[in-house]
Structure 1
Amino acid sequence: MRKLALRTAIGLAALLTAAQGSARELLDYWGQCVPFAREASGIRIFGDAWTWWEQAEGRYARGSKPKVGSVIVFAKTDRLRFGHVAVVSRIVEKRVLMLTHANWSRRDGKRGFAEQDVTLHDVSDGNDWSLVKVWYRDTGGLGGGVYPVKGFIHGGKPADELSGENPDYVGALIDAYVPR
């Protein structure tokens, strides 16, 4: 427990520095997805990621359509015991967007790192973003898992560093639509 508290404190310190600094510093964050999403989106919600959807009711606009700067809330599942939150950094097309988030892929065998402009593909039957696939660094493409989503929370003031200068739109579309 002390190790987790220390890791969280270090991650928050890095995030506070990042909020005042450059995009590179924002991407140097290491820790949980919740503090990262809160600072990167400006949406002031606390607690486990899966609780954000209900907490946003009456405080922030919510919906099923993405907007740049919105937080996407992944539902709690067996694979995502605390859910997951990420910030929409780019909209590529109707069923493909890019996220900036933390604590998803591994780097050097560890989770917790921030990633910018990661592909997210809507795979729901109703084209409503209720089921998604996420780009996964470990495989260099969309992971094999399909994740349920509660929706998008709108209304914060997103960080300027959400998206890179040259996001790979073509790569995102290839990841989403070309079978591996």
Structure 2
Amino acid sequence: MTKRLKAAAVAATLGFFALGAVPSTAKADEPYWQCVTFARMFSGINIFGDAWTWWRQATANFRTGKAPETGSVLVFRPEGRMSRGHVAVVSDILTDRVVRVTHANWGGSRGKVEENVTVVDVSPANDWSQVKVWYNPI
């Protein structure tokens, strides 16, 4: 029940706390979300800076680990076009190797929030060091 209430509260406040530029294709009244701004607000974890720095910053102040938990932040290291990394909030645990995340500014959903996106651990050691993120168009 508290998870639903928290989600409802976040949904109700999304329009009030959006930061960032609005691209010319967006409607003026739609917020443009960056992943770090959204993850900070949605998770309550007060870390600032590029997404790739969150893991290092978290080790000094938060509990970290190699097994995602609901409400935790999944940190992606920089790679390819994702030069600043990415962060996503774990919204549900489906199995020990499959979770759902809620995140912003991913793939073709620039500036938008995507809810309950499937992420699969494909690492040989089952340590979440390599993942595949569901992206609807492909």
Range class of TM-score, shorter chain: 0.7 to 0.9
- Give CA deviations for 1:24-48 in whole Å, capped at 9, x if unaligned: 6649753210000000000000000
User: Equivalent residue of 1:35, what SS?
Assistant: helix
Kept after mapping to 1: 8 A contact 2:10/2:42? no
Question: How many aligned residue pairs are there?
Answer: 118
In 2: Cα distance, 1:26 partner to 1:104 partner: 17
Note the residue ranges of structure 1 that are not aligned, 5 or more in a row: 1-18, 140-180
Question: TM-score when scaled to structure 2?
Answer: 0.77
Residue 41 of structure 2 aligns with an amino acid whose one-letter code is: E
Distance 2:31 2:40 in 1: 13
SS at match of 2:64: strand
TM-superposed CA distance for 1:78, in Å, is 2.3
TM-score (norm 1): 0.60
Q: Pick closer, same or farther for the CA change 1:32–1:93 going to 2, 3 Å.
A: same
Which structure 2 residue ranges, 5 or more long, are not aligned? 1-6, 16-29
Instruction: Report the identity percentage.
Output: 53
Secondary structure in 1 matching 2:55: helix
Relative to 1, partners in 2 of residues 1:21 and 1:69: Cα closer, same or farther, differing over 3 Å?
Answer: closer
The verdict on how the C-alpha distance between 1:42 and 1:124 changes in structure 2, with shifts beyond 3 A counting, is same
Task: Tell whether the 8 Å contact from 1:105 to 1:138 is kept in structure 2 after alignment.
Answer: no
- RMSD, aligned α-carbons: 2.2
The 1:24/1:137 distance shift into structure 2, 3 A limit, reads farther
CA distance in 1, matches of 2:128, 2:8: 32
State whether structure 2 residue 105 is matched by structure 1 residue 103: yes
1:23 paired to 2:11:
yes
Q: 1:117 to 1:50 in 2, by over 3 A?
A: same
From the superposition, tell whether residues 43 and 22 of structure 1 become closer, same or farther in structure 2 (CA, over 3 Å).
closer
